[in-house]
Every structure is written in C-alpha cells, then in structure tokens.
Chain A
Amino acid sequence: MRIPFQFSKKAGLILVILMVSLVLRIYKLNVTPPSLYWEEAALGYDAYSVLKTGMDHHGHWFPVVAFESFGDYKPALYFYSIIPFLFVFGLSVWSVRIPSVIAGVLIVYFSGKIAGLLFQSEELHNSSEMGWGRTLIQPEILTMIITCFSPWAIQFSRGGWEVNLATALLSIGVYFGLRAGSIVQSQPNQKKAMLSFYTLTVLLFVLSAYTYHATRVIAPLLGIVLAYPLIVRYKTNWKQICMLAVLAFGLMLPILLFIRDPSVGHRLQETSTFSTGKEVLESNFYMQQFGSNVVTKLLFHRYWFYLRTIMINAATHLRLDFLFLSGDQNFRHSIQYFGLFFPTDFVLLILSLFTLIKKWQGKYHFLWLWWVIGLIPASLALPVPHALRTLPILPVYMSVLGLGLFALIQYIRKMPFSKILLSGVAVLFCIELIMYLNFYFLAYPKLYASEWQYGYQQMVESIQNNSQSGEKVYITREYGRPAMYYWFFSKTNPSDVQSENAAAPKDQGEFLNFKNVTFSDSLTGNEKGLIASTYKQRQFFSDVTEIETIMDLKGQPVWLVYRAN
C-alpha cells in the first residue's frame, strides 16, 4: 500500500521541479531576451504563412526538409511546431518562443530520466520507504534540479531556437533507446516492448534531424550507439534490426535525396572550418620546404592538418572559461557573465568524474560516446567554441553534474556537522542562482538589446500608426533584414508577399521592395515620404517632420521615424 504513496512523493517533487522550470523559462518571455532576433522573426512569419496559405513566404508548398531563409535554409520542424501556438497567441513573440520553452521543460524531465537509467541503483528505484530527503537525493531528481536552473539550458529555452527542440527530441529518443537497450540485455524475450521503444527512438531521432542541422549528423550516429546491444545480438534480432533500419532510412530519405541540394548542404559549406583552405596551404608549404616525395606526402598530407584543426576546434569546447566562467562569445548564446554552467559546478564535474572512474560500468560508455558524437558537428564548423551547436550534449553534462551533486551530498553526509555543511552548499548555490537571475533579467536585456535587434517592433508599429494611405515608406537596412520584421509586426497577409516574390528585387533572398515600402541600404536625401532610419541617415534630409524616436533599453536612440517633405 505504501508504493503508490512513495510514487506520489517522487512524482510530486518532479512536478514541482517542472513547474519551476516552466516558470523560469516563461517568465517575461516576450521581453527577455529583449526582442525577436531576425531568425526568430523568419521562423514566426513563415509558420504564419504556412498556416494561412499552406506555403512559406517564398511560395514553396509545405516544405519538408528545409525553409529557405535569407539565402540560407532552416530545417522545417520548428516552423510547424509554432503553428498550434499561432491559434492561441496570434503572430507574436510568444508563439515563436513557446515551442522552445516546452522543449526546455522536456529536456529537464528527460535529462533526469536518463540520469536515472544510468546512475540509479535498483534499490533506489524500488525502495518504498523513502522519506522526502531520500526521495530528493537521487541522481534522477538532482539532475532535474541542475537542468532546471542551468544557465545553458535556460538560455536556449527562452528563444526560438530550433536546436532546443532538436535536443529535447533527441533526449526523449535517447531515453527510450536506453530502455530498449536494457530490455535487449536483461529480458531478451520481450521483443515487442523492445521494438516499440526502439521505434519511438527512431521516430524521435528522425524528427530531431528535421529540426536542426547538427542533429542530422548526431542522430544517426547516436542511433547506432543506442542500437549496439541489438546489433551485437544480430543472430536472434536480425528481423527487428532490418525493420528499424528500413524505417529510419525511409523517414530520412527526403533529407538524403537532397543531400547535394543547397537546402541540406549549404549550411555545412558556409560554416565549414575548412573553407579557408588554410590546411592545404600549410601542407603545401611543408612539402615545398622538403621537396615533394612519397615520405613528405605521407608526413605532411593535408589530412593530418585537417585532423589537427578538428582537434583544436574540439578542444575549445573543453575550455574552462567557456564552460564555467564566460560562455560562448556570441552574446545571444551566452549572457557573458556566466558560462554554460555555474562556476561551482566545476567541483561537481570533478567529483562526478572521480565517481564515474571509481565505479565504472559498461553502460557509462554511452555517455562519452554521446559527448564525442555531439562535438563532431561543432568541431567541423566555425566559430568555436559554440554553445548552440553543442546543445545536443546538454543532457550528458546535466546527468554528469547531477551525479556529481549526488556524490557531493553523499560525501558530506558522512562528515561531522553534515547538516550545516549541506546548508552551506545550498546557500552557495542560491547565491549563484540569484546572481544569475539578477543578471539575466535585469542587466542582460539592457546590455545586449542591439544583439537581439531591439527596436524593430516599436519602429514598425510607429510606421503603421503614422503612414497615410498610398504614401511611400522607406526603411533602412542598417540593422539588417527589415522586410521580415515589417511583415511580422505588421502581420502582413502572406499571400501578398508570395505574389510579389517573383518580381521583388532581393539581396540574399531578402526583399528590397514590398508594395509601397522600400528597404534600402542608404538614403540619398531626395526621398519623400515616411522614413525610418538611424540618426546618421536622417542628417541627409533638411526638411523633415520628426514623428518618433525609438530608444533602446539603455536610453540610446535606435530608430528615428520622420516624414521627409
């Protein structure tokens, strides 16, 4: 009779953690980060376009592999995940970011579940007489807590980041894959359960490949690792292996068919770390020095130099300042005042690694394999280190840190004055958390507003409120991609955009003219009509009526809206 009660204790705790996660991810979502980045605006508007017309703004009918976006291609799933929320919130910041918030909460839950599968001993699973303390102190719950408050997880859950959804799908897939793997090992007769878990994994992994570029590399490799218990028992399971392989291959076919098409390959080419050709030059330089013969060709082959570059790139992701102090150099990926983890998490990481070494089990191999596979796409691309491309390994770090926290608590419990020490640890953690949240909600939006293209919404609203019918409108491209913001915030009918798609002048897929609105790099001073520009371009005009100045959050002017007579 006690088991249900015990279950409810744990479930209650998990529920509380998930609620806190949700609050941390949804609180002030529309204003922190301070505004929509242009990729978010594109995600939102194309989703809106598909909802209204069944086509993206370029007029492609229900894109499956990728949406064309500013000369680049974005995997499709995140667009579709926005659509349900368009019904609720309309075309707004909320609907673009909510799928990522939900993905963030799922990551919290499944990181914990994965940690539970890997680190939880059986008696902890089944013990029915656990008090609140013991319910709390188990790797599963502690991992959820760590993920709930993790700066890295929060950063990417509070924006329209496709990678966050991909990571959530990947972690759910991993969870089912691990369960399937353990069934293969311990209950080989339960083929039905095993197959259904593996099928779920395949489906989720395929979905993640349709969500984000890097997971197209990660998901297949990780899938093979997860299927390893099955593959080594191929004699009794070949049927299942074939079925799963066919399923995976079939579902991935659209991506595979377009692998040479820009919609799949463009991103890889554009960001490739080898695009500079540095390695080839270096290899040639060495061969010139020593003459080109078989030995030098072998010693100084460009592949060695490629390998070296990959290793250097991979190594940057282990930099301690990146992980614990200042994070990614991109202001949208990290808040700069904190790393991917809290500084004291370093202690947890070390403790956890020691614990793993001391109590090594075969199943832990999965962790480092996931980690290595997750680093591959980020190491082949620039810039490095990259918090976004490596997000799919977030659950690895979270589980490891969760185990570290578990080990720390166990260790302290054996010491004298354990309660005081534990409170000390909790206080330290709270201080860090307060510092983080204080910075995130108060300083970050103000300091980095320009990184999030702050001011577009206010500018477009001002243009909307002040333009007279038939009047020419000029918006400068000084802050980049104004057309998309214009459509998004003015909720332009997508079929109007599609009808102009063929005729409109463009730069990298970006409209330079839309109906009566011109989006130009620079103004001449001869334009007549409603204009939005910076103060620099405003100076070209002598006779203007100033309408509104849009300020950023630090009180600096971003846009001037005025009428040139």
Chain B
Amino acid sequence: MKKLDIEHKQVFFLSVGIFLLSIFLRFWQLGKIPVGLYWDETAIFIDAKTISQTLKDMHGDSAFQTIFLSYGDYKLPMYIWLASLSFKLLGSSEFTLRLPSAVVGVLQGLVVFILLRELTQRRLTDKMSWRVSLLGWFIVAISPWSILFSRTGFEGYTGQFLVTTAVLCLMLSLKSKKWLIGSVLLAIAGVYSYYSVRFVWPVLVICFWFCFVSIEKWSLWRKPLNLVKNLFLSSLPYLVCLVIWGIGLIPIFSSPYYAASQQFRLSASSILDPTPYNIQSNALRDVTGNNTVSRVLYHGWLLQIQSLLENYSDHFDLSFLFLTGDPNLRHSTGEHGLFLLFSLPLLVSGIYYGVKKQPNVLVFLSIWWLIALLPASVPTDTPHALRSLNALTPIILLMAIGAVPFVNCFHSLKKQRTKQAVLYAVILLVSYQLIMFVVDYFYVYPVKSAMWWQQGYKDIVLTVDQNRNKYDKIWINIEDDRFFLWYLAYGDLTVQEIQVAMQHELILKSWENIEYKAYPKDRYPTAVKPFIIVTRAGSLEFEPTHKKIINDSYGLPKFEVGFYE
C-alpha cells in the first residue's frame, strides 16, 4: 500500500511539473510573442471587441450566428465567441485575444494524458500506463507545434482540441454509453471551430467502432448471421451519434453566408481545379501518340491523384516533422520541426510497438493521422502545419506508446551504472533540445518572424491616430488592402463607428479623412495641405516637411510616414 502511494506521489509531482511547464510555455509573454497580430487574429480581435460590447460583430450582424462574415473571410464562430468572452471579462488586448487558445493548449496536455490512460490502462501494466500517459502530456507541453499554435488566435487549434476531447469521450463510452452524448456535443463544437473537422469526425467514429468495438465481435465469424446481427447492434449507437452530429451542423449549412463561404474556400488554389491537369494531360497524350492507351494512361484524373498524393507525402517529410517545420514562419520557428527531434525515435518505436502488440490502436491512430491530412493536402501550398493540426494528437499518442519498448529495453539493462548513464544521457538530450527551442522561440524567433506578423502596422495606426485631427487627408498605401483591419482594431473608432463603417463593406477603402490607397501623384501641385502619406520605406515620391520612419525587427526602415505641411 505504501509503495503505491509513493508511485502515485511521483505521478502527482511529475504531472504538476509538466502542468506548470506547459503553463509557462504558453502564457509567458503571450501578448508580445508572436510580435504582432496576423490578419485573421486582427479580424477576430475586431469582432470580439464589438461583440463584447454590443453583441454584434463588426458588420453589425448578431453574435449568435454560425458563420461570421469577417471582412469576407467567413469565419466559424467558436473562437470569436471565446475571445469575446475573454474580452468581456478581462478587457481587449493581444493577450486576452490569445488567451482562449493558450488555455486550450494547457488543457490539451491534460486531455491527452487522460486519453492515454484510457487507451493503455487495460493493455499495459499500471506503472507503464502512468509513464506513457505522462510522456504524452510532456510531449504536448513541449512540442513546438502545440506551443506555437496555442500562442496564437488561430481557430484550428481549438478545433483539434475539441476533436481530441471528443475522441476521449468515445474511449470513455466503452465503459458507459453516456459519454457518447459528450462526444457528439464536442464534435459539433469542433466543427463550429474549424471547417476541416467536418471531414475528420465521421471517419474517426467509423474507425473507432471498427478498431475498438467491432473487434470483439469478429470471433463470431463462424456464425455469419450472428456476426452481422452483433455488428449491426454494436454500430447502432455510433450511427445514431453521427446522425445527431449531422443534425447539429444544420445551423452552419443554413447560414446565409454558407454558400459564399464554400465558394471562398474553393477559390483558393487547390488540386480540385482540373485545368492545369488537363493541359498537362493533353501535352502528354500528344507526345505519346494520342491513341486509346495514351488517353487512358495520361488521364487528367490520374495526374490529379498523383498531385494529391504528392501533397500528402509532404506532410510525412521528416524535415517538416522534426527539423525545419512549415516554411511559413507563422507556423514554425524555421529552426525546429513540429516536434523536437528526440521524439522521432519514439514515433518509430510507437509504430513498431503498434505492429507487434496493438494493431487496432495503430490502425485507429494511423487513420486519424491520415484523414487529418486530407484537408491539408487538397490546397497546393503544402506542407501546412495549420491545416494539418488535427494530426497533432494521433502523432503524440503514437510517440507516447513508443516509450514502451524503450522502457522495457532500459529495464533489461543489467548494470545500475549503465542505467544511470542512459537516463542522464536522455535527460541531457531532451533538455538540450528543449532549451534550444525555448531560447530560439523567445529570443530569436521574435526578430526573425516579425515580418510574418505584420510588425509595424500597429505603430502606423498609433502614429496616424495622434495626428489625424491636425491634417486634412491621410493617404495610406503599404501594398496590403487589409491594413484597415489594424485601424479598426487599434484606432480611436468606437464600436458603433466600426459597425457603421463596415456595414456594407468587406474591404474598407476610406474612413473620414483616411484613404486606404496610393496618393494620386498628379494632384500634388494643387493638393490642400496639410496631409500625411504612409508608404513602404523609400517609396515617398515627394519630399515631406518631416517624416517618421518605422523600423523592422532588424532595425532597417520598413515604413515611412511623411507629413506635408
């Protein structure tokens, strides 16, 4: 009894340690790193600001809608609601905007911990199950993928968290069917957070039934009738769940913005556009004789499938996963992959262990991983760490399970000294990688990534705002037609003014004395002074009376504000 207590104490202290670590990694300097708000975050910022005060979004629509217009980006509501709540309670700031995501990031570890406990409790020894679960939590706490996305107001992270939690409920439903209700509700909430959850969830449910529920029935295969009956009965609750889930999505489909949102998503460059494939197909047919064989062999569909598979394969690139990450610096630090390198052997060993001992767990997690990549593989810009976020949990679960062979191997070491040496080496290696990541993320990444986070936009707004009443006209052209969002977020407009300005507009072209366009050159000689021109550095065509330069993170000029008096 006493021994058990010690064990539980260890688990308790370790989990508190991991919990604190994950809090530190997510909350420290949350409002300041990443160094600025990205377009989508800024739009959510404005919506949350208006909703927290008037229960209406920036376009004047009700807060209780299932698709937000959001300057034509058609956002799902969950993250906007969470951010509004956060704004209502704690005021509006970059920190409170990112707060829900950070909280979700911390909770994710806990959910993974419980999920692993559920997954391994009956399959491993109690001690091993605790170890595996703690390791899973630890990997969530420190994986760059999880940290980066839980420190930004990207709705994808919340979406995948809700899916993970829904899967946990599915696991728990093996004990009591009541949990299925929780699972359905969370899965619905997941779709309300992120579009791609729609494709992931039904596959997950079917796969879960196949891997964990139906598996016990297959022993009846000698009696086919009995088998079919049993399979059908066991699948019934899950089918009902899927139906309820589908019904739960009706509000999204019936939103007045649904059709437009779908069109908008499809307008992005993706493999669904057959034109380039048809052109390529015709070229290939021409050089191969344009006969029946060549018409079949070089059909556009085959080329399209090949493209899809190539995009898929980008997400399995080991560099992407463990060394360099997404080329987009909003999604990666550029120096680290989605996971720290030490977890690569864990992933390999997880697959190995799955093959040897837990094929059904392996199949379930692999399908979860694969289906999570589908929405990320259709657009052409791959690999994509944000769109493939739904794969975060299954990969971490595989890594955690991968600890089992290593621990067994460790215990088979005979000499105590060797054991200690191995243990210290592992701790040293993991600490080195973690320290390198933390140092990189908090000290180097802010400098390197500043341009990806629209650094300088806020400074422009603040400068313009100070002088707006003293000048007749302000011309802002920094080659980004979404700059007005920063003005709405940080400018001196009231919430009502924002709603009036945006009521019939998606892109704001002017507001009062501010024009969001290039200064018309030919007007210069007769222009009424005083006025202000804001451009990219070096683009002011007429010498101003005085000017303010806004530098980038390396100290080089990025924008110029010219004052003409």
Show the binding face of A for B, using Cβ within 8 Å.
285-286, 289-290, 299, 308, 311-312, 315-316, 318-321, 324-326, 343, 354, 357-358, 434-435, 438-439, 442-443, 446-447, 554
Q: How far is the CB of B318 from chain A (nearest CB, A)?
A: 4
A312 contacts B287, C-beta separation under 8 Å: no
A320 contacts B313, C-beta separation under 8 Å: yes
Contacts of B352 in A (CB 8 A): 357
Subset of 10 A-B contacts with CB under 8 Å: A286-B444, A315-B322, A319-B317, A320-B316, A343-B309, A357-B355, A435-B297, A438-B293, A439-B288, A442-B288
Q: Which of B273-314 contact A (CB under 8 A)?
A: 284, 287-289, 293-294, 297, 306, 309-310, 312-314
* Contact of B443 (CB < 8 Å), options: A289, A311, A326: A289
Alpha-carbon distance A193/B324, docked complex (angstroms): 50
Alpha-carbon distance A412/B105, docked complex (angstroms): 45
Q: How far is the CB of B43 from chain A (nearest CB, A)?
A: 33
Q: Is B426 in contact with chain A by the CB < 8 A criterion?
A: no
Asked whether A325 and B356 contact (CB < 8 A) given A434-B297, A438-B288, A438-B294, the answer is no
Q: Is B260 in contact with chain A by the CB < 8 A criterion?
A: no
B436 contacts A354, C-beta separation under 8 Å: no
* Contact of B313 (CB < 8 Å), options: A308, A321, A438, A446: A321
Q: How far is the CB of A245 from chain B (nearest CB, A)?
A: 32
Alpha-carbon distance A447/B280, docked complex (angstroms): 12
Q: A320-B313, A321-B309 are in contact. List 13 more A-B contacts (CB 8 A).
A: A289-B443, A311-B323, A312-B319, A312-B323, A319-B313, A319-B316, A325-B310, A325-B313, A354-B355, A358-B355, A438-B297, A442-B287, A442-B294
Interface of B, secondary structure class, is helix
Chain B 428-448 interface 0/1 with A at a Cβ cutoff of 8 Å (1 = within): 000010011001000110000
Show the binding face of B for A, using Cβ within 8 Å.
284, 287-289, 293-294, 297, 306, 309-310, 312-314, 316-319, 322-324, 341, 352, 355-356, 432, 435-436, 439, 443-444
Contacts of B287 in A (CB 8 A): 442-443, 446-447, 554
Contacts of A357 in B (CB 8 A): 352, 355-356
Q: How far is the CB of A523 from chain B (nearest CB, A)?
A: 33
Contacts of B293 in A (CB 8 A): 434, 438
Determine the residue in chain B with the shortest Cβ distance to A298. B432
Q: How far is the CB of A536 from chain B (nearest CB, A)?
A: 25
Determine the residue in chain A with the shortest Cβ distance to B284. A443
Contacts of B288 in A (CB 8 A): 438-439, 442-443
Sorted from nearest, which 5 A-B pairs have the closest CB atoms? Answer: A320-B313, A315-B318, A442-B288, A321-B313, A315-B319
Contacts of A434 in B (CB 8 A): 293, 297
Alpha-carbon distance A358/B322, docked complex (angstroms): 26
Alpha-carbon distance A357/B357, docked complex (angstroms): 12
Alpha-carbon distance A80/B174, docked complex (angstroms): 71
Alpha-carbon distance A51/B415, docked complex (angstroms): 65
Contacts of A321 in B (CB 8 A): 309-310, 313-314
Contacts of B444 in A (CB 8 A): 285-286, 289
Q: How far is the CB of A555 from chain B (nearest CB, A)?
A: 11
Determine the residue in chain B with the shortest Cβ distance to A309. B323
Alpha-carbon distance A171/B389, docked complex (angstroms): 43
Determine the residue in chain B with the shortest Cβ distance to A338. B306
Contacts of B284 in A (CB 8 A): 439, 443
Determine the residue in chain A with the shortest Cβ distance to B289. A442
Determine the residue in chain B with the shortest Cβ distance to A441. B288
Contacts of B443 in A (CB 8 A): 289-290
Contacts of B318 in A (CB 8 A): 315, 318
Alpha-carbon distance A438/B287, docked complex (angstroms): 11
Contacts of B323 in A (CB 8 A): 308, 311-312, 315
Determine the residue in chain B with the shortest Cβ distance to A308. B323
Q: How far is the CB of A289 from chain B (nearest CB, A)?
A: 6
Q: How far is the CB of B33 from chain A (nearest CB, A)?
A: 15
Determine the residue in chain B with the shortest Cβ distance to A326. B310
Alpha-carbon distance A318/B319, docked complex (angstroms): 9
Q: How far is the CB of B138 from chain A (nearest CB, A)?
A: 22
Determine the residue in chain A with the shortest Cβ distance to B359. A354
Determine the residue in chain A with the shortest Cβ distance to B443. A289
Q: How far is the CB of A276 from chain B (nearest CB, A)?
A: 16
Alpha-carbon distance A435/B317, docked complex (angstroms): 26
Determine the residue in chain B with the shortest Cβ distance to A354. B355
- Residue among B287, B314, B435 having the largest count of chain A Cβ atoms under 10 Å: B287
Contacts of A289 in B (CB 8 A): 443-444
- Residue among B319, B352, B444 having the largest count of chain A Cβ atoms under 10 Å: B319
Alpha-carbon distance A357/B443, docked complex (angstroms): 43
Alpha-carbon distance A343/B313, docked complex (angstroms): 12
Contacts of A435 in B (CB 8 A): 297
Alpha-carbon distance A325/B436, docked complex (angstroms): 35
Alpha-carbon distance A438/B323, docked complex (angstroms): 38
Contacts of A316 in B (CB 8 A): 317, 319
Contacts of A312 in B (CB 8 A): 319, 323-324
Contacts of B435 in A (CB 8 A): 299
Q: How far is the CB of B67 from chain A (nearest CB, A)?
A: 35
B319 contacts A299, C-beta separation under 8 Å: no
Determine the residue in chain B with the shortest Cβ distance to A436. B297
Alpha-carbon distance A354/B356, docked complex (angstroms): 8
A358 contacts B313, C-beta separation under 8 Å: no
Asked whether A325 and B306 contact (CB < 8 A) given A299-B435, A438-B294, A438-B297, the answer is yes
Alpha-carbon distance A286/B323, docked complex (angstroms): 17
Alpha-carbon distance A321/B308, docked complex (angstroms): 11
Contacts of B324 in A (CB 8 A): 312
Determine the residue in chain B with the shortest Cβ distance to A305. B335
